[in-house]
Structure 1
Amino acid sequence: MKHYDAIILGGGAAGLMCAAQAGKRGLRVAVLEKEEKPGKKILISGGGRCNFTNVDAGPANYLSDNPHFAKSALARYTPQEFIELVNSYGIAWHEKTLGQLFCDGSAKQIVQMLLDECGDSVDVLCDAFVSAVVHEDGAFAVAASGQQFTAPKLVIATGGPSIPKMGATGFAYDLARQFGLKVVEPRPALVPLTLGGEDVLFRELSGVSAPVRAHAGTQKRPGNFGISFDEAALFTHKGLSGPAILQISSYWRPGEEVGITFLPQSDADWLLDLKRDRPRAGIKTALREHLPDRLADALAERLGIESELGNVSDKALKSAAEKLADWRFSPNGTEGFAKAEVTIGGISTSELSSKTMEAKRVPGLYAIGEAVDVTGWLGGYNFQWAWASGVAAGESL
């Protein structure tokens, strides 16, 4: 039987950050990681360079049943603080786009930094498969790979079921339910969408990418789509992917449409202006000037305008421009947790203190990171939540 001040289940981003924070306070901490090495998701993130935070990360960049829950932790541990930590280790980094920060070298540097931060008072134990967790007399007893661990504090940091090939499971939810905590139904997020029906014709464009504006749900009023993302969309042999689609997938619900604005920088009358300036141009030629040829040809064919623009009525051109500004797709699903970068849903924030991440009804039990119903946008936001929630719990243990 090994006794600790705290046991952290999961050696990923949130778990290691929490352990480091607690270790600095002199606590004896055990991190139990079931994989053969810690931080496996960190290592594959950002193409192996780890998109470790986003300089613009704030509460508005997160989804949760309680949109206010993340405010406290995010305010108390900011992207700048993590950047300062990275800088203190001499890790070179760069901003790629939209506030996304990546290592110049390897994600291994971030994992090693976290392990170094843990220090001597933290034991990171890998290949530790948890088979049982019991709470008795104010202490948690954990059975893992033939060993017994006890501590007055237990942190659930095992993430969600996204990317199961990396060992991800729904273990956090099972454990939460064991202790009577509510779980918001998990679903895949930051995930490619699949197309069927008439939309299946767009699969022939597999491999074609273009900058678009993506929006989900019903258009509120012309030009106002509520939440939208201006990034690239990629057509695949199954449907739609690319950053814009991954972002909007977090907001999409089965049965809803996804709207794509092709040529998001063009004004509403661009085809009328082109008709006046170049009446002999065709719609296919016009689209090819802004979009990949295969995509331009496919859109032109579906718009059904074959004449030179000078021979097309203003009404028809205005209708075509409106269609291009809000092209509707009806996804029949997603590619599921196997392809999802993160999970929406998880342990309900109503069960947790937003300041400490401790369960209100189970003293000594904490939940952090992706295990909790807080999900960030694509681009380093989920790592920032891992760091912030890890620090919040680590300071409270």
Structure 2
Amino acid sequence: MKNYDVIIIGAGAAGLMCAITAAKRNKSVLLVEHARKVGRKILMSGGGRCNFTNMYTEPENFLSANPHFCKSALSQYTQWDFIDLVNQHGVAYHEKTLGQLFCDNSSKDIVQLLLKECHQHNVIIELESKVTALEAMPSGFSVSVNQRSLSAGAVVVATGGLSIPSMGPHGFGYQIAEQFGLPVLPTSAALVPFVMNSRWQKQSAELSGNSFDAIASNHAQSFKEAVLLTHKGLSGPAILQISSYWQPGESITLNLAPEMDLASWLKQQKQQMAKSQLKTVLSQLFSKRLAAHMVTSWLKLNTDDNKVMAELGDKELEAIGNTLNNFTVYPEATEGYKTAEVTLGGIDTHSLSSKTMMCNDIPGLFFIGEAVDVTGHLGGYNFQWAWSSGWVAGQNV
């Protein structure tokens, strides 16, 4: 039976970082991946340019039933540590917005960086390899990989969540957790677009592709970023962000002009553009097509097309402005795991050590990355959690 110090299941961001870190400590490391390539989520992220971290990473940027859990890992291996690694390898990058760092060229640069580190430190990577069994032994673990029996002093589960199911058989990490008696919290799609009802879709079909800045809010959170209208409903950064906090049946409030008191602004426009129609005035802030749609569908105004600003009373303008500053929508659902960037929920962190990522009651068994109940906001935070949790486990296997 071939023996390793560490066997890591899953060669995504967290698994690769863990493998590198452990190997640097002269551990013999086998990294097992079911797919043909490592880091497939890295490759597809950020529109092919990989938003690999965020300069403003703080624990407050993460959701978890145990909100303090992420603090230790994030402080042990920070965004600046990963940025240093990127700089060491000469990968060109830039800040896009709000501290989000993207590769100048391609997300392949990050994967190549990680593979170079793996090769340099003698990590053995086996692709298209399936783990079929994992059993605890008196001095470690027995792992069945492609019908071979292997042994390891430590096993790290870095199998990801349920997002983007086309990338392979998901949920394996949860199965391992349940096998060893660890609780798994309910999971749901996060950082995911909203689907609106069929009436909304029919009315808004021609608006697909229109975007605008807004504040998306519910009882728990609010985010000021872009909103994108799609053929199914609503997307864009503000929507993806608030989706992580949304519960089915709940409304979302959109402030369609976050920098303005629209009621006051419309009254001013009445003085300056007295002979213009409302849709013409609103087209100063939104596309002409969207402005017209707002008047007829979102505001549901029973004014004939020839009515101009001078004919709208101040109370009516106040009502219009307040509606657009507090526009309420009722998503029917999200698009689900198919288009979700990450998974909310997962392995209960109360069962893990925040300092090491090891199971409290099962020495040598570690869980890292998206499988764990730590979910970042949009903007590179989930990659940073992968780097941080992977590094911490790699230091302790």
Please classify the TM superposition score into its range, dividing by the shorter chain length.
over 0.9
Which whole-Å CA distance do the structure 2 matches of 1:39 and 1:310 have between them? 60
2:286 to 274, 277, 291: 291
The answer to whether the aligner puts 1:327 opposite 2:327 as a matched pair is yes
Number of the residue aligned with 1:193: 194
Match of 1:135 in 2: 136
Structure 1 spans left out of the alignment, 5+ residues? 219-225
Kept in 2: contact 1:184–1:348 (CA 8 A): yes
What is the rounded CA distance, in whole Å, between the counterparts of 1:56 and 1:26 in structure 2? 33
Q: Distance in 2 between matches of 1:70 and 1:373?
A: 10
Q: Distance in 2 between matches of 1:198 and 1:62?
A: 35
Write the distance in 2 (CA, Å) between the matches of 1:53 and 1:168: 26
3-state SS, counterpart of residue 174 of structure 2: helix
Q: Would you say 1:265 and 2:265 are equivalent positions?
A: no
Q: Distance in 1 between matches of 2:292 and 2:178?
A: 52
**Normalised by the size of structure 1, how large is the TM-score?**
0.95
SS in 2 for 1:230: strand
Aligned to 2:70: 70
Compared CA separation, residues 170 and 206, structure 1 to 2 (3 A): farther
Distance 2:204 2:175 in 1: 38
Look up the equivalent residue of 1:200 and give its one-letter code.
Answer: Q
Q: Give the match for residue 282 of structure 1.
A: 277
Aligned partner letter, 2:153? P
CA distance in 1, matches of 2:108, 2:68: 33
Contact 2:358 2:365 in 1 (8 A): yes
Unpaired segments of 5 or more residues in structure 2? none
Which residue of the other structure, out of 229, 233, 240, is the alignment partner of 2:234? 240
CA distance in 1: counterparts of 2:206 and 2:248, whole angstroms: 23
**What do residues 153-211 of structure 1 show as CA deviations (whole Å, max 9, x unaligned)?**
11110000101111151111111000100111110011111011653344324423222
Q: Which residue of 2 aligns with 1:217?
A: 218
Distance 2:367 2:374 in 1: 11
What residue is the counterpart of 2:179 in the other structure?
Answer: 178
Matches within 5 A, 1:67-216: 67-118=67-118, 119-196=120-197, 198-216=199-217
Moved more, 304-313 or 92-101: 304-313
Identical-residue share of aligned pairs (%): 49
When normalised by structure 2's length, the TM-score is: 0.95
Deviation at 1:260, TM superposition (A): 1.3
The one-letter code matched in structure 2 to 1:267 is D
Would the aligned equivalents of 1:234 and 1:242 in 2 still touch at CA under 8 Å? Answer: yes
Q: 1:47: how far off?
A: 1.6
Alpha-carbon distance in structure 2 between the residues aligned to 1:206 and 1:75: 44
Residue-by-residue CA offset, 1:71-129 (whole Å, 9 max, x unaligned):
11111211111111001001111111111111112211211211222234321111111
CA spacing shift, 1:246–1:296, aligned 2, 3 Å: same
Aligned to 1:223: none
- In the alignment, the residues of structure 2 paired with residue 261 and residue 80 of structure 1 have an alpha-carbon distance, to the nearest angstrom, of 34
Residue 378 of structure 1 aligns with which residue? Answer: 378
SS of 1:105's equivalent?
coil
CA distance in 2, matches of 1:214, 1:189: 18
**CA distance 1:123–1:251, shift in 2 (3 Å):** same
Larger deviation, residues 359-368 vs 109-118: 109-118
